[in-house]
Amino acid sequence: MRRRNRSQTKEMEDKKRLDIEFKSTLIRFFKNFLEKMDKTYQYMKRDQLELIRSQQEMIRDQQEMIRDQQEIQNTLSEIKNIIQSPKNRMEDRKNQVKDLEHNEPEDTLPQKLEGKRIQKIEDNVRNLWDNFKRTNIRIMGSQKMRESKISKTY
């Protein structure tokens, strides 16, 4: 009986020992698992922070690019305005000249008759003037001849 008891106690002790070993192994396993999970969580958290920083940098870069694009667009529009302004000036000048040009309305019948009458009078005045000049030339020519005759006689 004692042997039995001893063997039973020994078996019980072995079982307890095995149970304790199993539990301790299981506890170590979970402890290691939790440590690794903590490290993984820390890595993930760090990576997430880095990702957020990189996103912020990308947003800043994008905003800077947008500002640069707007500046370039403004510069381009200024250049276009400068380039187009002489054309517009020329067109404005042409329009001003067209506005200054005065298209006379067609003459009515009384205006045409008045114009013909004025032209006849101008022609008559020219003829009279031409006749007067010829007469004046003859007179002047005759004086020269007289002077030359007088000078020859002396």
19-23, 86-90, 121-125: least confidently modelled range: 86-90
Residues 77, 13 share a domain: yes
Over residues 82-108, the mean pLDDT reads 70
Domain that holds residue 12: 1-96
Residues 15, 70 share a domain: yes
Residues 130, 55 share a domain: no
- Local confidence band at 9 (pLDDT 50, 70, 90 cut-offs): confident
For residue 108, the surrounding DSSP H or E stretch is none
Residues 132, 90 share a domain: no
Residues 90, 27 share a domain: yes
pLDDT: which is higher, 27 or 13 = 27
pTM of the model: 0.38
- Over 80: is that where the pLDDT of 62 sits? yes
Query: Where among 51, 73, 96 does a domain terminate?
Result: 96
- Over 70: is that where the pLDDT of 23 sits? yes
Residues 84, 13 share a domain: yes
Residues 55, 127 share a domain: no
DSSP 154: -
Asked whether residue 21 is domain-assigned, the answer is yes
Q: Alpha carbon of 89 to those of 76, 95, 102, 120, 148: distances in Å? A: 20, 10, 21, 46, 69
Residues 116, 139 share a domain: yes
Residues 73, 39 share a domain: yes
Over residues 114-135, the mean pLDDT reads 83
Asked whether residue 75 is domain-assigned, the answer is yes
pLDDT at 35: 96
Rounded distance, CA 21 to CA 118, Å? 141
Asked whether residue 5 is domain-assigned, the answer is yes
Residues 118, 85 share a domain: no
Residues 119, 88 share a domain: no
pLDDT at 145: 61
- Local confidence band at 151 (pLDDT 50, 70, 90 cut-offs): low
Residues 17, 86 share a domain: yes
- Residue 107 DSSP SS3: coil
Number of domains in the chain: 2
